[in-house]
Structure 1
Amino acid sequence: MIPAYHSLLIVFDTDKSSFNQCQSLVENLMLNSNQQLYSVNSLSTKTLTLPIYYDESVGPDLARIAKHAKLTVAEVINLHQQGTYYVNAIGFAPGFAYLGEVNSKIAMPRLTSPRLSVPKGAVAIAEQQTAIYPASSPGGWNIIGRCPLTLFDINKEQPMSFSLGDTVTFDSVDKNTFLSLGGEL
């Protein structure tokens, strides 16, 4: 089960569960929906501090966000990295964690026309959320930097670096550190 803001994705292995078993489980969940499926206190959570290279060479929307917020690029970066973010949902793509909430001064709407390709590790903002693209994909968020770490690896026992309820902070790194940690420009 993968909970999100207003939905719950339930995935079944049809080789291991019959349709009737799946239907019974879903009906039971619906009948008992007044009970919390998850409680923040019941989750095993962790805190992740991720290195981020904030620079206009990897953050093409930094200057536009700064102009919109009437801030300098340095102030936008500072506000973003000062935040403590919670993994509120995982979706869109495997390992894509919706982190909230960004400082309202730097909140930005999604792009009117999504990019055809956003690089793996791109750090982005949309509305009150921030996220890191776990793989290259199309995307409509405002890109402000890049993380050099692999955050989703299907070959690992735990493929996702994030879990629901985890806390994430960002640590600004320079270009050389970004590259030494495996980052690509």
Structure 2
Amino acid sequence: MSVYPQIRDFGDTGFGVAFGDGIDRAVNARVMALHAAIGDAGLAGVIETIPSFGTLFVQYDPLQTSRADLEGAVRAMLPGLQATAHQGRLWRIPVCYDADLAPDLADVAERCKMKPDQVIARHAAGTFFIYMLGFMPGLAYMGGLDETLQLPRRSSPRVKVLQGSVAIAETMTTIYPWESPGGWHLIGRTPIRLFDAARAAPILYGAGDEVRFQPVSRQDYDTLAARVSAGSFDHAALELAR
């Protein structure tokens, strides 16, 4: 049986602090607590810390600190780590679930033994927790998918998934921020630009944030898409008050 936390090697200028395996909010709470603690401590040489499901990656500058010194400082934080429920930002993301933007919606509904409207309602009723970002800039792994919608990934991934596609697989949902290959089930699309290098914060949301999906009509989708394309849409307006 594995004993946690564990320090794991990641290349020449980084290491990971693992608190567990799998997808678990309690484990992730410890990851986020250490992420915050290192940030607050201002340790010399730390370039960044990157949360994942159960591990925090710590990258450092070897010209400013040594692995031994930094690891020792991080280890000293672990006994007193307070893993409280992390409350990040809350986002409302508009999604159009029309058939031409949701190529897998009918199939998902059939496999889940419900109507497409029921799939939409259950997906839109959820509040999804962002465990981590990965695969490409801005792609969030969001947990909390209704168990009645949980399906394995597609047996045959697509070569091209369009930017903004909203997808589900297993216990998670995500939004493809770029056109890319993908094997998740596509049930809608958002016009929102999740990554934009011209913004002060290029990635809209981060690990520890939560997301709710707001169904919109095709007309509203097209209007929002035009505003986003023209640069007149205020993405900060998508953040909801806690």
Shorter-chain TM-score: which interval? 0.7 to 0.9
Give the CA RMSD over aligned residues: 2.2
SS at match of 1:182: helix
Which one of the candidate residues 62, 86, 91 is aligned to 1:48?
91
Amino acid at match of 2:70: L
Per the alignment, residue 136 of structure 1 pairs with 179
Equivalence map 1:159-170=2 (5 Å): 159-170=202-213
Which one of the candidate residues 155, 158, 169 is aligned to 1:115?
158
TM-score by length of 1: 0.86
Per the alignment, residue 144 of structure 2 pairs with 101
Structure 1: how far apart are the matches of 2:210 and 2:64? 38
Structure 1: how far apart are the matches of 2:180 and 2:130? 20
Q: CA deviation at 1:113?
A: 2.2
SS at match of 1:76: helix
Equivalence map 1:1-185=2 (5 Å): 1-12=49-60, 17-18=61-62, 21=65, 23=67, 24-30=69-75, 32-36=77-81, 39-41=84-86, 45-182=88-225
Residue deviations 1:157-182 (CA, integer Å, cap 9, x gap): 21111122212111101111101101
Structure number, greater radius of gyration: 2
Q: CA deviation at 1:97?
A: 1.0
Q: CA deviation at 1:59?
A: 1.1
SS at match of 2:206: coil
Q: Work out which structure has the larger RCO, using CA pairs closer than 8 Å and 6 or more positions apart in sequence.
A: 1
Amino acid at match of 2:65: Q
TM-score by length of 2: 0.67
Amino acid at match of 1:28: A
Q: CA deviation at 1:47?
A: 1.2
Compared with structure 1, are the counterparts of its residues 177 and 10 closer, same or farther at alpha carbon in structure 2 (3 Å cutoff)? same
Q: Is the 8 A contact 1:59 1:145 kept in 2?
A: yes
Per the alignment, residue 6 of structure 2 pairs with none
Per the alignment, residue 29 of structure 2 pairs with none
Q: CA deviation at 1:22?
A: 5.1
Structure 1 gaps of 5+ residues are: none
Structure 2: how far apart are the matches of 1:120 and 1:26? 39
Compared with structure 1, are the counterparts of its residues 36 and 135 closer, same or farther at alpha carbon in structure 2 (3 Å cutoff)? farther
Amino acid at match of 1:111: R
SS at match of 2:131: strand
Structure 2 gaps of 5+ residues are: 1-48, 229-242
Structure 2: how far apart are the matches of 1:33 and 1:91? 25
Total equivalences in the alignment: 178
